[in-house]
Chains A and B, each alone.
Chain A
Amino acid sequence: MAVAFDEMNGPGGDLRPAYRELSRWLKETPPDALEYRRQEAELLFRRIGITFAVYGDAEAQERLIPFDVIPRIMSAKEWAVLEKGLKQRVRALNMFLRDIYHGRDILRANIIPDDLIFQNPVFRPEMNGQSVPHDVYVHIAGIDIVRVDADNFIVLEDNARTPSGVSYMLENREIMMRLFPDLFARHRVAPVERYPDELLSALRSVAPLSASAEPTVALMTPGVYNSAYYEHSFLADKLGIELVEGRDLIVKNDEVFMRTTEGLKRVDVIYRRVDDDFLDPLTFRPDSALGVPGLMSAYAAGNITLANAVGTGIADDKAIYSYMPEVVKFYLGEEPILKNVPTWRCREPKDLAYVLDNLSELVVKEVHGSGGYGMLIGPAATKATIEAFRDKLKREPEGFIAQPTLALSTCPTCTASGLAPRHVDLRPFVLTGSKHVTIVPGGLTRVALKEGSLVVNSSQGGGTKDTWILDE
C-alpha cells in the first residue's frame, strides 16, 4: 500500500497552507495542556450525555465516542470542489430514485441490470408509481468521502436512508469553541450552527399539499434504546419539533396524528429515523412494535411526507454504488466531480475471478452490510481469515463487492505517544428541499485511532474530530 497522504504535512513533508496556524499553535502548546483539554472534552461529552449504544455489548450500553481535539482543516478552495460534487451527486441520487419507481429509463437504457433492482431486498415495490412531494426522496444524505491525495475526493458510500452523525458535527464544534477560543480567534472557520434551521426549512418545504400553511414536523425515533437516540433528541430539540415514537402516532382516515395532552394533532412531515422495515407493521414487518399501523396508507394517500422517502435504500446499495458515475452522467449529462472507488462486482464472473486471485490486497464488503461489519480487509487479515472469506464469497458472490485498499489520508491526532498521523474520512450532510440543495460547510470527520487502522466506524474503535472549513 502506498504511503498515505497527510493533510497537514503534504507529500515531502511540506506544511500545507490550511494548517499553517494550527502547526504554529501546536508548537506553542505544551503536550500536557492538550491532554488536559482532551480530558475536559470527555467530561463535557459525558455530562451532556452524548453517548451511543453498541448493540450486543452488555458491558457498555452507553459509550462515548472518543473525541480528538486536533481539528481537521480544509481550505475554502478544497471545500468548493467538494460542495459542488456533493450537490451533483445528491441531485443524481434523487433523479435515480424518481426514475426507478416510475419510468425506469435507466433500466431501458441498459445502464443498470434489471435484476439488481428487482431482486434487491431494499427495492420497495410499494413505491412503484407513488409520487412524493417535489420528487425529493433523499432529503438528508450523508455522503462518506475519503481522500488519497491533494486533488481527489472519492465517495466511499452514499448514505441515503437514515444517515446519522450530524449531532457530532454540531456538538464537536460547540465543545471545541469552549475549549480552544484562542485557536478559533486565529482562524476564520465557517460556522456550522445553521444546520438545524436549514434542515427544518427543507423539511417544511416538502410538506404534502393537504398540510396547513404552517406544517407540523415531527422527528420519529425507534426510542431511547436506539444507538443514535441521543442524536434524535438533540435534533428534535434544536429544530423545536416533537420527538415521537411509533406509539405516539395514530392514523385515522389516512391522516397521521400525534397523541397530545390536548387530544390528537395532525402531523404533516415525519423526519423518520426508523428503518423502512419497521415503519408500518401492516405493510412491512408485522412484528414491528416501533411503527405505526396504517402509516403507509396515509403516505399513499399523500397526507404525510416521510423524510427520507421509503425505498431510498436502492440508491445507496453497495451493488448500485458501482454504477454511480454512469448514473450521474445519465441524468445530468455531466461528468461526475467526485470519483468512485474502483469496484469489482463479484456477481460478474470476470470480476469474481480477479477478486479471488487478489483477496489479500482487496477490501471485500457485503452488499447489504453497514457499520464496517462483515467485511474483509485483505492486507490486514490472516491467511485463515482470508480462506474462510474465500469460501463465503464463492458460495454467494452476488452478495459482495470488492475494492482496492485505499491509502486514506491522515491527520495529526493525539495518541498515547504524542501527536501522530491517523487515517480519517469525512461525512458531510447534504439537505434537499423543494427548491435547493444545501450543505453546511463541514461534516463529521471520523478517525481510526489505532495506528495503521483504516476502520473509522465508531462501533469499532473510531473517534471523531471537528472539521474546519476555512472561510478564505
Chain B
Amino acid sequence: MLSRTAENLYWLARYVERAEYIARTIDATLRVTALPAAYIGKTNEWESALLTAGVSASFYEAYPEATEQNVVEYLAFSSSNPSSIKNCIEAARLNSRSVRTALTSEMWDTINSAWIELQEVWGKGTSSREELARFLRFVQETSLRFDGSAYRTMLRNDAYWFSRLGLHLERADNTARILDVKYHVLLPEEEHVGGPLDYYQWTSILRSVSALTAYHWVYRETLKPWLIADLLILNDTLPRSLASCYSNLVRNLDQIGVAYGRQGAAQRHARGVRNRLEHSHMDDIFQHGVHEFIQEFIADNARLGEIITKQYLI
C-alpha cells in the first residue's frame, strides 16, 4: 500500500485513541474534584490532568491558572491545543478523508458523523457539568464505535495492521504518561503508608484507563498501589497495560513482516521492549525506581514510533 496511506491510517487511529484518552482524563479528574477537600488534599487535580495530557507548558502560555473551566476548555475544545479533543477529531477526519479508499464505510461514517456532531452540537463547548458529561460520553462512544467498526469490518491486511500499530503505540504512551505523573502515589508494599488521600488518587488512575472493575477481578483485593502498578505495567490481560500494548505491537509488526516477507528494525525494537516487560517483576521495578522505568519506557515507545515511520511510512 502507499506509504502515505499507511501513515494516515496510523495517525487516524492515534488521534481517535488520544481523543478518548483525554476524555477519560477529564472524566476521572471531574470525579476526584467532586469529592470534599478533606479527601483529596491540596493538590490541584486539574494541574495533574494537564500533565498527564502532556500539555502543561503550552497551557500556561494561554491561561494564567489551572481552573476547571480553563483546563476543560483547553483539553476539550481549544483550537490552539493540538491535542485537544476537538483537534483530534478534526485531524482524524482530515486523515480519513485522505485515505477514504482504505477505510470501510462504517469507519468513515463514525468519524464523519462525529465531526458533524462536534460542529453542530458541541461547537460552542459545554456550559454545565451535565453537558460536559454528555460530551465526554460522546467522545468515548465515538472511539468505541471506530475501534469496533475497524475490528469488525476491515480486511485483515496491512491497512488494518498499520491502524492497530497507531492505536497501541498511542495507548502505551497514554498509560505511561499517567504512571509518569502519578508514580509518587504508587509505592512498594514495604514503604506503603496509605491514607484516604491516596485511595482516591488510585481510583482516579484506574478510572482513566477504565480498569477499576478489572482490578478487582484480577486481584480480588482492596486497592493496593503496588498491585495497581503491576496491573498497568505488567499485566498482559488488561488491554491498556504496557505489556498488552506491546504484545499487540509485536504481533501486528510480525504480521506485516510476514506479509512483506521481510523483518526490520521495528520488529526487533518492539520485541526488545516486549521482552523486557515480560521478564520484569514489580519488585525489581520498584527497586530500580518506577519513575526511571517509566521514563525509559516512554523514550523506547517514542523510538518505536520513529522506527516505524522510517521503515514504512516515508
Residues of A within 8 A of B (CB): 46-49, 223-224, 229, 233-234, 236-237, 242-245, 247-248, 258-262
On whether the beta carbons of B100 and A262 are closer than 8 Å, the reply is no
B6 at the interface (CB under 8 A from A): yes
Give me 8 other A-B pairs in contact (C-beta within 8 A), A247-B4, A261-B312 excluded. A46-B116, A242-B5, A258-B2, A259-B4, A260-B3, A261-B162, A261-B260, A261-B313
Instruction: Enumerate chain A residues within 8 angstroms of B237, measured Cβ to Cβ.
Output: none
Q: Is B97 an interface residue (CB 8 A)?
A: yes
B window 95-111: CB within 8 A of A = 97-98, 100-101, 108-109
Nearest CB to that of B159 among chain A residues?
A: A261
Which of A49, A242, A258 has most chain B Cβ within 10 Å? A49
5 A-B contacts, Cβ less than 8 Å apart? A46-B116, A47-B112, A242-B2, A244-B2, A261-B312
Are A229 and B97 in contact, CB atoms less than 8 angstroms apart?
Answer: yes
User: Bound state CA distance, A245 and B162, in angstroms?
Assistant: 20
CA distance in complex: A124, B108 (Å): 41
Given A224-B98, A237-B101, A261-B260; A49-B2 close (CB under 8 Å): no
For B262, give the chain A residue with the smallest CB separation: A262
How far is the CB of B310 from the nearest CB of chain A, in Å?
A: 12
Q: Digitize B281-314: 1 where CB-to-A-CB distance is under 8 Å, 0 elsewhere.
A: 0000000000000000000000000000000111
Chain B residues with CB under 8 Å of A229's CB are 97
Q: Would B2 and A237 count as touching, CB distance under 8 A?
A: no
B230 CB–A CB distance under 8 Å:
no
Which residues of chain B are near A244, meaning CB under 8 Å?
2
- Chain A positions within 8 Å of B112 at CB level: 47-49
Given contacts A260-B2, A260-B3, contact A233 B100 (CB under 8 A): yes
Contact of A233 among B101, B116, B158, B256 (CB under 8 A): B101
Supposing A237-B100, A237-B101 touch, asked if A260 and B1 sit within 8 A by C-beta, the answer is: yes
Instruction: Name the residue of chain A whose CB is nearest to the CB of B7.
Output: A261
Q: How far apart sit A244 and B6, CA to CA, in the bound complex (Å)? A: 13
Chain B residue numbers with a CB within 8 Å of A248 are 2-4
Q: Which residues of A contact B2 (CB under 8 A)?
A: 242, 244, 248, 258-261
Question: Is B158's CB under 8 angstroms from A49's CB?
Answer: no
Chain B residues with Cβ below 8 Å from A260 are: 1-3
Query: Total A-B residue pairs with C-beta atoms closer than 8 Å?
Result: 53
Instruction: Return the chain A residue nearest B259 by Cβ.
Output: A262
- List the B side residues contacting A247 at CB < 8 Å: 4
Within 8 A of A (CB), among B66-108: 94, 97-98, 100-101, 108
Q: Measured between alpha carbons, how far is A47 from B116 in the docked complex, in Å?
A: 8
Whole-angstrom CA separation of A245 from B2 in the bound complex: 10
Asked if residues B4 and A245 are in contact (CB atoms below 8 Å), the reply is yes
Bound-state CA distance A47–B1 (Å) is 26
Q: What's the minimum C-beta distance from B88 to chain A, rounded to whole angstroms?
A: 17
The answer to whether residues A47 and B113 also contact, given A224-B94, A229-B97, A259-B2 and a CB cut-off of 8 A, is yes
- Whole-angstrom distance between the alpha carbons of A234 and B101 in the complex? 7
Closest to B96 in A: A49
Residues of B within 8 A of A234 (CB): 100
List chain B residues, Cβ under 8 A from A236: 101
- Chain B residue nearest to A247 (CB atoms) is B4
Q: Give me the 4 closest cross-chain CB pairs, A-B, nearest first.
A: A233-B100, A237-B101, A261-B312, A259-B3
**Complex: A247 Cα to B116 Cα, angstroms:** 30
Q: Are A233 and B97 in contact (CB under 8 A)?
A: yes
Residues from chain A with a CB closer than 8 A to the CB of B6 are 261
Q: Which partner residue on chain B sits nearest A223 by CB separation?
A: B98
Q: Which residues of B contact A47 (CB under 8 A)?
A: 109, 112-113, 116
A248 to B312, CA, bound (A): 13
Nearest CB of A to B129, in Å: 31
Q: Which of B3, B4, B108 contacts A49 (CB 8 A)?
A: B108
CA distance A260 to B1 in the complex (A): 5
**Max chain B CB contacts within 10 Å: which of A242, A244, A258, A262?**
A262
CA distance A260 to B116 in the complex (A): 32
